[in-house]
Amino acid sequence: MPETSSRFGRLGIEVGTFGRWSRLALGILMLAPIAVKVSGDLDGGGEPFSFYLRAAAYLAAISAAYVIVYRLLSPNVLGRTGPWTNTLIFVGPAFTAAWWPAIIEPWSGIVIASEVALGVGAYIGLSFLLQWRIGYGGCEVVSLPIALGAPRHATYCVPLVVADAVEKQIVDRRANPALARVEP
């Protein structure tokens, strides 16, 4: 029987059906608390409007930084390094900023502005939605540069890379049943 190729593609670049919809769910889960907070503050009892203007400015700056850095690194670095290195380059800053208040601040005593955390959280949530839309299976934070025409380089979305790898195995085995046979 001739081998057929998988429809999944390359892990860290393409994404399967489950992976794509899980990114939509994660985007909604990340943005829902932000939407609840903003709507709750509309009555004037919460954060002032200037707080949200600063958060929007951080969101714009974060977006611009990811687009610029991705485009600068794309031709000479991202295409030559492995997916885990690419992931570390882009996930490291987002992960650090997003989890700073819960992980780093308690033991370091260094506080970052709430507006920064809100901007990062909004960027990650919107990136998951964009990733779902464009069908990119790598790290969500590079979805914006890719949607704007930058080349796709392999990165991994931790922990979704595990689910993507399982889905890829299932898709590959369905496309080529010979892979499912175990040789003695």
pLDDT at 84: 92
pLDDT at 99: 79
Asked whether residue 3 is assigned to any structural domain, the reply reads: no
Asked whether residue 123 is assigned to any structural domain, the reply reads: yes
Segments of the chain with pLDDT less than 70: 1-6, 178-184
Asked whether residue 66 is assigned to any structural domain, the reply reads: yes
Asked whether residue 55 is assigned to any structural domain, the reply reads: yes
In this prediction the pTM is 0.85
pLDDT at 29: 96
Asked whether residue 166 is assigned to any structural domain, the reply reads: yes
- Backbone phi and psi for residue 64, each to the nearest 5 degrees, phi listed first: -65, -40
pLDDT at 178: 64
Asked whether residue 1 is assigned to any structural domain, the reply reads: no
pLDDT at 48: 87
Contact 5, 171 (CB under 8 A): no
Asked whether residue 157 is assigned to any structural domain, the reply reads: yes
The whole domain housing 159 covers: 17-177
Asked whether residue 45 is assigned to any structural domain, the reply reads: yes
Number of domains forming the structure of the chain: 1
DSSP label at residue 13: T
Tokens for 2? 């001739």
Tokens for 8? 């999944």
Contact 120, 31 (CB under 8 A): no
Helices (H), 42-184: 49-73, 83-99, 105-108, 114-134, 143-147, 160-175
pLDDT at 4: 45
Residues 6+ apart with CB under 8 A from 61: 119
